[in-house]
């Protein structure tokens, strides 16, 4: 608080100095500052000088102002500013006619806006009720499923081509995803053909569960197919190609040892491979039931 | 009795039913508001005008007084603004140094035992120097020194009127005193 040595603005205790000058310190604080004054020449000098300034200002006030008569201020007191106005108690009122009009206009527009909001909100809620939403969603899923099946087949073709070209390289997760998507979408396709109504009532969670089941089945069955089928995909057996592909997709530990089939082995039989794979899946699904 | 009511109660009474009740507010604060205006403007006629305008403005805006601050703080704030507005208008007019000295001579009331010519002259010069020194302070410093020295307001009251912390009030007062010291010491040196 009392830092001796700062010469820029006294010793840094200007607030205490001013309070002491105008007798605005408590007894204990005054004693403390007086002890400081005894040690700080800067503060002591300022106290003396400021005291002289105060005396000069007081002399000026006494000489030029104290003797002046207080002027008579005349005000024209009009009618009561707000007579019988209950708004005074609340602390808010529109005293002028302009303010009243503005207040009423504002209230009307605000009320109208609120009413509009309520109407729109009710309409939106009715349109987007759960029943309506589920039907729409089901319709959309059917449509999207149909579209996505074509997309999946195209992707599968592309994946098969790329996998054949990149047989030496480690397989990425894309083919696996495509296979899984294919399993999902083909299953949905099967359901639409067999029981369109069931899709409408099926929820996303149920679909996901079904998909997981089919995947498990496929993953389980793949080893058996792999063992039985010859490794080369020269014949038109889907399990063989699927198993070969599966080998490629599997963790790449064994990959390095096995020789990947060349592109020419798959080139002619892409379409048939797809068909066979689908039928294979259908069989599997049918066997589950 | 209206004199027993607080300032806030009188304002409410004036707003509700009796506008003449505002006269009690004027009676209570006219001296202090006039002192504030005189300290800020250093001229009697201008201080009178500023004080009159302060009370007129306060009366016209009585219905806007919410009671969040004291009536005295509210009046002082209006008065300071009126003085600053007047000062700004005066800056556009070119007022010479001699106008002030002439008005000072009219207003000088020598104390008894102080009528010796040399003393009078010295005193006049000193008062003129003080008036000029205070008048040359920046507005934010002048209003604090005037409130403290002319109106003898407490730091708390000044803090409420000017809506600033206590520490800022004290700091500004310190700065104002320091500047006045420098100006008056220079004048003393010149006189010597």
**A169-199 pLDDT, tens per residue?**
544 444 444 444 445 445 545 544 445 444 4
**Would you place residue A63 in the very low, low, confident or very high pLDDT band (cuts 50, 70, 90)?**
confident
Residues in chain A: 289
B59/A75 touch (CB, cutoff 8 Å), yes or no: yes
**B20-71 pLDDT, tens per residue?**
889 999 999 999 999 999 999 988 899 999 999 999 999 998 888 877 788 9
B51/A53 touch (CB, cutoff 8 Å), yes or no: no
Q: Are A189 and A149 in contact (CB under 8 A)?
A: yes
Token look-up 């800022």 returns B168
B interface test, pick of A6, A7, A18, A48 with most B CB neighbours within 10 Å: A18
**A211-255 pLDDT, tens per residue?**
666 666 655 554 444 444 444 444 445 444 444 444 444 444 544
Smallest CA-to-CA distance from B47 within A149, A9, A64, A214 is with A64
CB-closest option in A14, A64, A85 to B107: A64
Cα–Cα distance measured from residue A36 to residue A49, given in angstroms and rounded to the nearest whole number = 17
B interface test, pick of A61, A67, A87, A90 with most B CB neighbours within 10 Å: A61
B-chain residues near A77 (CB < 8 A)? 19-20, 22-23, 59
Nearest C-alpha in A relative to B127: A60
* pTM for the structure as a whole: 0.52
Structure tokens at A57: 């200002």
Q: What is the pLDDT of residue A80?
A: 52
Q: Are A238 and A280 in contact (CB under 8 A)?
A: yes
Is the model more confident about B89 or about A169? B89
- From residue A189, give the alpha-carbon distance in Å to each of A156, A181, A264, B132, B134: 16, 12, 31, 98, 95
Q: What is the pLDDT of residue A34?
A: 93
Q: Quick one: average pLDDT of B125-133?
A: 90
**Percent of chain B at pLDDT above 90?**
45
Is the model more confident about B50 or about A87? B50
Token look-up 């208008």 returns B89
Residues in chain B: 192
Q: What is the pLDDT of residue A285?
A: 56
Cα–Cα distance measured from residue A139 to residue A136, given in angstroms and rounded to the nearest whole number = 5
Is the model more confident about A150 or about A11? A11
Please give the mean pLDDT across all residues of chain B.
Answer: 83
Q: What is the pLDDT of residue A161?
A: 64
Cα–Cα distance measured from residue B188 to residue A142, given in angstroms and rounded to the nearest whole number = 101
Lowest mean per-residue pLDDT among A257-271, B3-17, B58-72: A257-271
pLDDT of residue B97 exceeding 60, the answer is no
- The conformation of residue B153, written as its DSSP 8-state character, comes to -
A77/B23 touch (CB, cutoff 8 Å), yes or no: yes
Smallest CA-to-CA distance from A80 within B62, B169, B75, B162 is with B62
Q: Are A93 and B63 in contact (CB under 8 A)?
A: yes
- From residue A227, give the alpha-carbon distance in Å to each of A222, A224, A276: 9, 5, 18
CB-closest option in B26, B48, B173 to A75: B26
**Would you place residue B170 in the very low, low, confident or very high pLDDT band (cuts 50, 70, 90)?**
very high
**A113-170 pLDDT, tens per residue?**
888 999 988 998 888 876 655 555 444 444 555 555 566 556 666 666 666 565 555 4
CB-closest option in A17, A24, A57 to B174: A17
CB-closest option in A17, A61, A78 to B149: A61
- From residue B49, give the alpha-carbon distance in Å to each of A232, A258, B33, B44: 111, 107, 11, 9
Cα–Cα distance measured from residue A269 to residue A157, given in angstroms and rounded to the nearest whole number = 11
Of A9-23, A122-136, B143-157, where does the model show the most confidence?
A: B143-157
Q: Quick one: average pLDDT of A83-87?
A: 41
B16/A58 touch (CB, cutoff 8 Å), yes or no: no
Cα–Cα distance measured from residue B95 to residue A19, given in angstroms and rounded to the nearest whole number = 37
Range 70-99 of B in CB contact (< 8 A) with A: none
């Amino acid at each position: 608080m009392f830092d001796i040595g700062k010469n820029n603005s006294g010793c840094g205790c200007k607030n205490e100095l001013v309070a002491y000058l105008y007798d605005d310190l408590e007894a204990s604080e005054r004693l403390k500052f007086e002890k400081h004054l005894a040690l700080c020449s800067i503060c002591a000098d300022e106290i003396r000088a400021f005291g002289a300034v105060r005396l000069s200002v007081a002399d000026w006030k006494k000489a030029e102002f104290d003797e002046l008569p207080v002027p008579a201020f005349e005000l024209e007191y009009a009618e009561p500013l707000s007579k019988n106005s209950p708004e005074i108690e609340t602390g808010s009122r529109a005293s002028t006619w302009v303010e009243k009009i503005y207040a009423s206009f504002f209230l009307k527009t605000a009320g109208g806006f609120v009413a509009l909001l309520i109407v729109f909100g009710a309409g939106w809620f009715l349109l987007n009720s759960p029943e309506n939403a589920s039907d729409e969603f089901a319709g959309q899923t059917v449509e999207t499923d149909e579209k996505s099946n074509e997309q999946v087949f195209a992707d599968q073709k592309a994946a098969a081509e790329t996998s054949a070209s990149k047989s030496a390289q480690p397989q990425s997760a894309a083919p696996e995803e495509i296979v899984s998507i294919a399993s999902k979408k083909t299953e949905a396709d099967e359901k639409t053909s067999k029981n369109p109504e069931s899709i409408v009532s099926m929820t996303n969670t149920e679909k996901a569960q079904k998909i997981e089941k089919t995947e498990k089945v496929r993953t389980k069955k793949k080893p058996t197919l792999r063992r039985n089928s010859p490794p080369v995909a020269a014949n038109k057996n889907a399990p063989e190609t699927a198993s070969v592909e599966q080998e490629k997709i599997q963790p790449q530990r064994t990959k390095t040892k096995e020789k990947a089939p060349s592109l020419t082995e798959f080139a002619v039989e892409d379409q048939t491979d797809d068909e066979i794979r689908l039928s294979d899946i259908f069989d599997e699904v049918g066997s589950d039931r | 009795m209206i004199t027993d009511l607080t300032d806030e109660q009188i304002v409410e009474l004036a707003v509700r039913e009796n506008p003449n009740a505002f006269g009690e507010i004027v009676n209570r604060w006219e001296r202090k508001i006039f002192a504030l205006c005189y300290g800020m403007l250093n001229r009697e006629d201008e201080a009178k005008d500023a004080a009159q305008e302060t009370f007129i403005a306060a009366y016209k805006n009585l219905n806007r007084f919410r009671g969040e601050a004291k009536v005295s703080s509210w009046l002082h704030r209006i008065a300071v603004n009126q003085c600053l507005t007047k000062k700004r208008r005066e800056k556009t007019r070119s007022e010479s140094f001699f106008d002030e000295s002439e008005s000072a001579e009219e207003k000088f009331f020598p104390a008894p035992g102080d009528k010796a010519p040399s003393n009078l002259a010295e005193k006049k010069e000193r008062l003129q120097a003080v008036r000029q020194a205070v008048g040359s302070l920046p507005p934010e410093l002048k209003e604090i020194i005037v409130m403290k020295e002319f109106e003898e307001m407490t730091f708390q009251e000044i803090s409420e009127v000017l809506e600033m912390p206590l520490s800022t009030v004290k700091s500004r007062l310190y700065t104002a005193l320091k500047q006045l010291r420098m100006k008056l010491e220079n004048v003393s040196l010149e006189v010597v």
